[in-house]
Amino acid sequence: MLPLNQVVEGDCLAVMREWPEESVDLVRDSKGRFIKGHHYCPTTEFKKGQHWRQPKSYWNKDWLENEYVTKKKSAKQIAEEQGCSENNILYFLEKHHIKTRSMPEVREIKHWGCIGKDNPMYGKNGKLHPNWKGGCSPARQLFYETEEHKEWVRRVFERDNYTCQNCGKRRNSNKLRLQAHHIYSFTEHPEKRLNLDNGLTLCKECHDWVHSNENMDSKFLGG
């Protein structure tokens, strides 16, 4: 008979070797903390780093590698199947040195839904779109869609020879994205929106930098 609701003093491993399999549900460590677990086998030898928690499948490198690499499941999908958080899976992927996928690799295997007429949202523009706001678009967005603004952008690019005026990179392919920057605030100086002298060609990276806190000298910003 095993002791019930009694304190058993002694060496944990030595005492528990005498007990039958799966006979312990809760134990207390030397600091008085409760540790939930199971005694799997009377002959179990515990080594440094082992504990009473029931092992999870994703702790095993081969299992996790098969799920993530071979079966191409996402970390989120594995987490949902295992009843844990996605961060748990990401942690063990890193621990086992299993390389996570890049965004292009994710796109290659991810199912993004039907395209063309097979897509339920095909042709649903304006009031037919679920995100329709009643036709009230921001003034800046409406302005950017006008032919006058598009012509202004073209003239700015041509004047600057399709070259970023900050880093000097030139658009010789579609990989470099250029943007027309308003030197004087679009909101505070509406009269200068289509002024050619108020435009400047910048690549997206430099344009983001100009409007960031890193631009401490307010370069290319006229107020």
In a domain, 30, yes or no: yes
Distance, in Å, from the CA atom of 58 to the CA atom of 73, rounded to the nearest integer, reads: 13
pLDDT score recorded for residue 3: 58
Domain-located, residue 192 = yes
Q: Are 181 and 155 in the same domain? A: yes
Residue 149 lies in a domain: yes
pLDDT at 26: 57
pTM summary value: 0.41
For the chain, what is the domain count? 3
Helix axes 75-82, 86-95, angle to 10 degrees: 110
The chain-wide mean pLDDT, for the chain, equals 80
Res 20: pLDDT: 67
Residue 103 lies in a domain: yes
Question: How many CB atoms are closer than 10 A to CB 94?
Answer: 11
Region of 113 (left: φ > 0; alpha: ψ -120 to 50; beta: rest) is: left
Phi, psi of 199 (to 5 degrees): -105, 150
pLDDT computed for residue 51 by the predictor:
52
Residue 114 per-residue DSSP state? -
Answer yes or no: do 201 and 144 share one domain: yes
| pLDDT the model gives residue 103 | 83
152 shares its domain with 92: no
Q: Is residue 200 part of a domain?
A: yes
Same domain for 206 and 144: yes
Q: Enumerate residue ranges in the chain where pLDDT < 50.
A: 34, 36-46, 48
Task: Please report the pLDDT score of residue 207 as a whole number.
Answer: 94
Determine, yes or no, domain membership for 117: no
Domain assignment of residue 223, yes or no: no
145/195 same-domain check: yes
Q: Which residue has the tokens 């039958």?
A: 20
CB atoms within 10 A of CB 164: 22
Per DSSP, helices labelled H in 50-203 are: 61-65, 75-82, 86-95, 103-109, 139-144, 147-159
Is residue 41 a part of any domain in this protein? yes
Q: Are residues 204 and 147 in the same domain?
A: yes
The pLDDT value recorded for residue 58 is 92
Does residue 200 share a domain with residue 163? yes
Q: Which domain holds residue 65?
A: 57-109
Q: What is the pLDDT of residues 63-99, one digit of tens each?
A: 999 999 999 999 999 999 999 999 999 999 999 999 9
Tokens coding 174: 């579609």
Same domain, 199 and 146: yes
